[in-house]
Structure 1
């Protein structure tokens, strides 16, 4: 089968479109024919081995796992003898190492779930990493309740577009922050107000928020605290890139600044799981969550797809199609 792999750290040029052996499912695994895969910033962080601290997990001098990609949607082709939750022909989506490939295997108890009948493979493939990050940030770290007011800084990106929709489904008043070209899109997702960061600074507004979900990290924690209620929460998701700590900078800042802030500050590293995927499948089926797809690439064009993701200019998600 065809797959995209990498043997060393670097830019998109290290990604290779190659022939690899077809995976064989173990007793508790399913074999999935991938129809579409989603691209995430996580992919180019693995590709570059950046921030460097990641290499403690992925391999110091070179990646220990050559496979690429995480988000997938496809059709079950075969199942191991102990599998009971899935059968050949089932339409599924989830997260698995090596999603940039024509086939993959996943444990039935892992991050895999049935797709709704009214959702396309592309729509489902865009969901896992980004939407679960948004869900867990809002529900678990943010403890968002109906009637509360939430600000989403970076509302036009992969996580942000899902966060707007999920927060609305939870009954919140939602304010977004993004550039001029994305204002109408984010309002169309259900946002009650959108700050155009090229024209106004939300930290200087008269608004007061129960929760700020920050995907950008372009304002200090203390500046954010000015527009938060005394009982408010700030949840940091990712953050600026960098060679050493990069997106982990938020965790460090939270530890250093939290003692001086009245509000609660936390960072999130989402955990993919089948239960949250099933939750998101229900929201998709009901039309409450729709994937905003910016561009589509073929599997052979994965290097271009990851390069585009690295620009940070994507409006929503980037999809790799296998068909």
Structure 2
């Protein structure tokens, strides 16, 4: 089968489209004929091995533990292991695994759900990681409530476009922060207010929010806290910049420590992909409350370009590979 592989850590230049053996499903695995794969910032971190914390937590100290890149997918069930009871060959599914940038991939049953009926494979592949992260940031960490004022920083990106829609679905008043090029998009997905960070400062004291979801940002916690109500919650989703050791995760770690000493609730988001959240999202998607925003689709061979475009901020919403 064709797959995007890498043997060493590095830039997109280490990625190669190769012919490799198709995976063989174990007793607990679902073999999927991949139709589309989602591209997210995590792919860049696993490709480069940066920050070094990424390597230390199990992805390979000196070289990638998993040679095939990609984690989000949508496709057709090809075969199932003898312990799998929820799926059968021919089912249209979506979810996460290791090695989705390939024609075939194996996933655990607990990481998959039936694909929403109203989505294409490309749209479905854009959901699993980004939408799950947004859901857990708002519901589990943020404990969002109807009527609350929610600020989403990075509202025009992969996680951000879901965070805006999910916050609205939960009944919140939503303000999205994004660049000039993405203001129209953020309004179109339901944001009540949009702040263009190139012209305006959301932390100028003009407003305070019950919940702030900061996605892959680099603003100091002190700045974020100025826009947060005295008893508000800050959910830090990932982060960029920082040192090569812990990278943007320094802010998540610092948020948890600082939260012990202030009235505000500050917490990093460590999303966990699971089938029950996919099924929850499916309900919202099929009801029309949430829709994937895809900036661009790329053929599998162009995975390096997709990752670089996403890293450079050139993608509105999600980037997706068609397989």
TM-score range, shorter chain: over 0.9
Q: Which runs of 5+ in 2 are unaligned?
A: none
Deviation track 1:219-245 (CA, whole Å, cap 9, x = no partner) reads 322222222222100010111234221
Contact kept? 2:97, 2:108, Cα under 8 Å = no
What number of residue pairs does the alignment pair up?
Answer: 321
User: Residue 27 of structure 1 aligns with which residue?
Assistant: 27
Q: Which runs of 5+ in 1 are unaligned?
A: none
Q: 1:84 deviation in Å?
A: 1.6
Q: TM-score, normalised by structure 2?
A: 0.96
Which secondary structure state, in structure 2, belongs to the residue aligned with residue 203 of structure 1?
coil
State how far apart, in whole Å, the 2-side matches of 1:75 and 1:315 are.
27
State how far apart, in whole Å, the 1-side matches of 2:6 and 2:91 are.
30
State how far apart, in whole Å, the 2-side matches of 1:216 and 1:321 are.
25
With over 3 angstroms needed to count, the CA separation of the structure-2 counterparts of 1:313 and 1:88, relative to structure 1, is same
Deviation track 1:42-83 (CA, whole Å, cap 9, x = no partner) reads 001000000012111222221122121000000111122332
Contact kept? 1:239, 1:250, Cα under 8 Å = yes
State how far apart, in whole Å, the 2-side matches of 1:260 and 1:85 are.
46
Q: TM-score, normalised by structure 1?
A: 0.96
Q: 1:27 deviation in Å?
A: 2.3
State how far apart, in whole Å, the 1-side matches of 2:281 and 2:257 are.
34
Q: 1:260 deviation in Å?
A: 4.7
RMSD: 1.3
With over 3 angstroms needed to count, the CA separation of the structure-2 counterparts of 1:76 and 1:174, relative to structure 1, is same
Q: 1:263 deviation in Å?
A: 0.4
User: Superposed, which structure 2 residues align to 1:23-102 within 5 Å?
Assistant: 23-56=23-56, 57-102=58-103
User: Superposed, which structure 2 residues align to 1:111-130 within 5 Å?
Assistant: 111-130=111-130
With over 3 angstroms needed to count, the CA separation of the structure-2 counterparts of 1:317 and 1:6, relative to structure 1, is same
State how far apart, in whole Å, the 1-side matches of 2:321 and 2:79 are.
23
User: Residue 202 of structure 1 aligns with which residue?
Assistant: 202
Which secondary structure state, in structure 2, belongs to the residue aligned with residue 266 of structure 1?
strand
Q: 1:37 deviation in Å?
A: 0.3
Contact kept? 1:178, 1:197, Cα under 8 Å = yes
With over 3 angstroms needed to count, the CA separation of the structure-2 counterparts of 1:180 and 1:161, relative to structure 1, is same
1:264 aligns with 2:244: no
State how far apart, in whole Å, the 1-side matches of 2:11 and 2:127 are.
25
Judge which range, 150-159 or 203-212, deviates more: 203-212
Runs of 4+ in structure 1 off by over 6 angstroms are none
Which secondary structure state, in structure 2, belongs to the residue aligned with residue 204 of structure 1?
coil
User: Residue 140 of structure 1 aligns with which residue?
Assistant: 140
1:165 aligns with 2:165: yes
